[in-house]
Copies of this chain bind each other. A is one copy, B any other.
Amino acid sequence: MTLTAGVILIGNELLSGRVEDKNLPYIAKGLGKRGIRLAECIIISDHEEVIIENINKFRQKFTYVFTTGGIGPTHDDITTASIAKAFGSEMYRDEETFHKFKEHYKERATEATFRMCDFPIGAELIENSASVAPGFRMNNVFVMAGIPRVMQSMFDAILPLLDERDPIQEISFTAFTSEGKIGIPLGEVQGCLPMVDIGSYPFMKDGNQAVTLVARSTNMQALQDAAIAIEKLLYEVEAEIIDAPDAWPQSNNI
């Protein structure tokens, strides 16, 4: 069975444009290496009912759900309590975390600080090396911090807990050409290789049109076929190749 994932980025600052998310690409790459298909990401505000609704939708829909943001000590950190409600759980104060906090923060600790020791009943805590405050897991939902350094540390701790499939690998070619020029033959290549997802990403380089072609698949033979077909296509349209894979994926290396 294919493993799928949904990501819920929580935070008003993402929807006001004040903060640019840095977490999704990190999560996406990690999931790809583990062969888990990231199907959807939603960015929502710090509103209880919105969080509850989306948590309950996503946890039915995907194998795994990951959230970022809203687990700190301030009034706008409502993710943990909202997730408890989504699961119909009460909250409890985790004694071990509480003691750790008292030792770590000493007289600097306040009742606000200790909010980060409260979790939904049934949560499994996710320790991490970047912060004394743990993330947590409720069934298939993994709840992480919003600060990228802390989020990454939590995600690195979570990844080994997940089931895995063949990794999604990719190869890419970049060349001076236009999408108009390669559009039709590239569509034919994609048509012949249903096990590969081929994407085309145009950009300007030194005032000239350039395109990056990316092929992704869990099937190494299909990916190798795609690499050969794409390189042939680029030669045929006389595109100057700027960047190509060092080595093509070799099915017998796997």
Partner of A13, one of B40, B179, B201: B201
- A positions within 8 Å CB-CB of B: 11-22, 24-29, 32, 38-46, 50, 72-76, 105, 108-113, 115, 147, 168, 170, 178-184, 186-187, 190-191, 197-203, 214, 216
* CA–CA, A14 and B202, complex, Å: 15
Partner of A72, one of B44, B75, B179: B179
Partner of A199, one of B12, B29, B111: B12
The answer to whether A183 and B45 touch across the interface, beta carbons within 8 angstroms, is no
Partner of A183, one of B28, B50, B73, B198: B73
- Please classify the interface of chain A as helix (H, G, I), strand (E, B), loop, or mixed, using the class held by over half of its residues: mixed
* CA–CA, A118 and B76, complex, Å: 46
Partner of A74, one of B111, B186, B197: B186
The answer to whether A17 and B13 touch across the interface, beta carbons within 8 angstroms, is no
Q: Which residues on B sit within 8 Å (CB–CB) of A191?
A: 75
Give the Cβ gap from A19 to chain B, nearest Cβ, in Å.
7
* CA–CA, A199 and B39, complex, Å: 29
- Which 9 A-B residue pairings sit nearest by Cβ, starting from the closest? A112-B183, A17-B28, A113-B180, A75-B187, A17-B29, A41-B43, A17-B25, A74-B200, A73-B183
